[in-house]
Amino acid sequence: MKHTKTAIYPGTFDPVTYGHIDLIKRAANIFDKVVVAVAHNKSKGVLFSVKERVEMLEDAVKGMDNVVIDDFDGLVVNYAKKMGTNVMIRGLRMISDFEYEFQMALTNRKLAGDIETIFMMPHEDYSYVSSKLIKEAATLGADVGNFIPKKAEAALKKKLSKKRR
């Protein structure tokens, strides 16, 4: 019998970027199933609701049969256990991400030593792209269509136009 392996890729995805999608595609080529887990994480000051972020991701991964979009609240290690996996994917864009991600991985290891964190780097075309940067640029009127999918771009424009009123 074939052993199937599931990995989760947790994050806020506020909004989803082409860097996120790059990691999802590459993880989907390695693992039998990838669960992209949208964190509720109210402390990060998200622009989009969980439902909106899930919908943007669902649109972005259409056609990737082994990718599932879900959401979770609470500790990511508890969510991983609930999903029956011991593999978590985290993205590293620049060296500046490393300290935070390393600290989080070590904390998660203390909380749940059976869960492994695998770091993946996006393609260099997306190595500088972050959701925060995209939101800031869009707020200042930049065209962000080269960084995020069309549905996410439309949702971002709509959300920002409401904030300006």
CA distance 141 to 138: 5
Point out the catalytic residue in the list 20, 53, 90, 135. 20
Q: Is there a catalytic annotation at residue 123?
A: no
CA distance 67 to 95: 28
155: phi then psi, degrees, rounded to nearest 5: -65, -40
| Cβ neighbours, 10 Å, residue 95 | 7
Point out the catalytic residue in the list 43, 82, 130, 131. 131
Structure-token pair, residue 106: 């070590």
Q: Is there a catalytic annotation at residue 20?
A: yes
Point out the catalytic residue in the list 5, 44, 157, 158. 44
Helix (H) / strand (E) element for 160: namely helix 150-164
The residue whose two tokens read 């930049």 is 142
Q: Is there a catalytic annotation at residue 93?
A: yes
CA triplet 11, 15, 16: central angle to 5 degrees?
Answer: 70
The residue whose two tokens read 């707020």 is 139
Give me the active site residues, please: 20, 44, 93, 131
